[in-house]
Amino acid sequence: MHYQWASYVPVAERRRKAATEMAKLAKKGQTISPVRIEGRAIATTVWGKAWCANLEAYSDYANRLPRGRTYVRNGSVVDLQIAPGRIEARVSGSSIYRATVTVTALPKLRWEMLVADCAGGIDSLVELLQGRFSKGVMERLCRQGDGLFPTPKEINLDCSCPDGAYMCKHVAAVLYGVGDRLDHQPELLFTLRRVAATDLLAKAGAGLATNATAPSADRTLAADDVGALFGLEMDQPEPEPFKPPVPVARAKPKPARTPRDPASRLLGVLRKRGSFDNAAAREATGLDAVSVRPLLQRLVAEGHARIVGQKRGTRYVAT
């Protein structure tokens, strides 16, 4: 099948069209979960960085991943959903493309060996999801071939775009988007591989599984150590540029309000209400009958009101 390559669409225009399309889907009840990268680093936590490092460690992906980094950073992954064994995403390009990544379930024997090797190294679910455990445990979890992270042979890629390459830039952006998502929801890695994170706990029991006590310093793996596990230089957040303090402008004193002319105030009330009688005019101005009468006569003389005679008294109607 021959595809006609679409003409280039500027990023701003792609974002506008994608936002419109996603809004339509949201109105239909679909949950939309875009990937938003803050700063230069795609991932900043242990789990997010480990996912990205695992991808970059395989030569199969080396040529196509850079374009994916650009796409995910500029907000092109407008929706990303992670389910057991499957990643579904929409990526904004010349059109909105559908990208699907399927990941095989972690083999039972491999998972059991991994759990056995990590026994005693993880004390709580909180500690696990925060990546707060020893470097040795992380090395075992990330070990290529028999660790928790998938190999290229365990990943199948598909995209609706016309690019015939096995990994197009849209799929590459989705894979990096998973790294960002794991920064915020690391439990989704275990969902994707169809294993239970609680199997890695040293002991059973609900109380232990939710223990939030932080481990000692020698049992804490910093996110910066992840690149060393894979022999890679990971993306680092760019330092914030120096911004000189902005001088605070002194607020100018507000000019004193000039007392409003009683006739103008009376006209405003008349236009708002449409009509009123003498009693309502006195109430609106706070004036007595003697003082308000010339004001009413002035409104009539200037053409702002006309008099309507009624049995119960004179009524003034706005003109």
Q: Is it the case that residue 149 has pLDDT exceeding 90?
A: yes
Q: Is it the case that residue 208 has pLDDT exceeding 60?
A: no
Mean pLDDT of 157-181: 92
Helix segments in 105-234, DSSP class H: 108-118, 125-129, 135-142, 169-184, 187-193, 206-209, 226-230
Q: Is 235 inside any structural domain?
A: no
pLDDT of residue 73: 92
pLDDT of residue 121: 87
The CATH number that applies at residue 286 is 1.10.10.10
Mean pLDDT of 100-124: 93
Q: Best-predicted range by mean pLDDT among 162-166, 174-178, 302-306?
A: 174-178
Q: Is 78 inside any structural domain?
A: yes
Q: Are residues 189 and 88 in the same domain?
A: yes
Binning pLDDT at 50, 70 and 90, where does residue 279 land?
confident
Q: Is it the case that residue 225 has pLDDT exceeding 70?
A: no
Q: Is 243 inside any structural domain?
A: no
Q: Rounded to whole angstroms, how far apart are CA atoms 34 and 32?
A: 6
Q: Is 252 inside any structural domain?
A: no
Q: Are residues 169 and 266 in the same domain?
A: no
Q: Are 292 and 281 in contact (CB under 8 A)?
A: yes
Q: Which domain holds residue 168?
A: 11-230
Cα 11 to Cα 47, 80, 92, distances in angstroms: 29, 19, 9
Binning pLDDT at 50, 70 and 90, where does residue 186 land?
very high
Alpha-carbon dihedral of residues 221, 224, 226, 232, nearest 10 degrees?
-160
Higher per-residue confidence, 96 vs 269: 96
Q: Are residues 93 and 174 in the same domain?
A: yes
pLDDT of residue 23: 83
Q: Is 199 inside any structural domain?
A: yes
Q: Is 206 inside any structural domain?
A: yes
Higher per-residue confidence, 136 vs 87: 87
Q: Are residues 98 and 198 in the same domain?
A: yes
Mean pLDDT of 222-246: 56
Mean pLDDT of 90-118: 93
Q: Are residues 212 and 289 in the same domain?
A: no
Q: Are residues 28 and 69 in the same domain?
A: yes
Q: Are residues 187 and 103 in the same domain?
A: yes
| 182 Cβ contact partners less than 8 Å away, ≥ 6 residues apart | 43, 45, 47, 48, 51, 188, 189
Q: Are residues 133 and 67 in the same domain?
A: yes
pLDDT of residue 215: 44
Q: Are residues 134 and 214 in the same domain?
A: yes
Mean pLDDT of 305-319: 73
Q: Rounded to whole angstroms, how far apart are CA atoms 48 and 131?
A: 10
Binning pLDDT at 50, 70 and 90, where does residue 229 land?
low
Q: Is 212 inside any structural domain?
A: yes
| Domains identified in the chain, total number | 2
Q: Rounded to whole angstroms, how far apart are CA atoms 46 and 222?
A: 7
Q: Is 242 inside any structural domain?
A: no
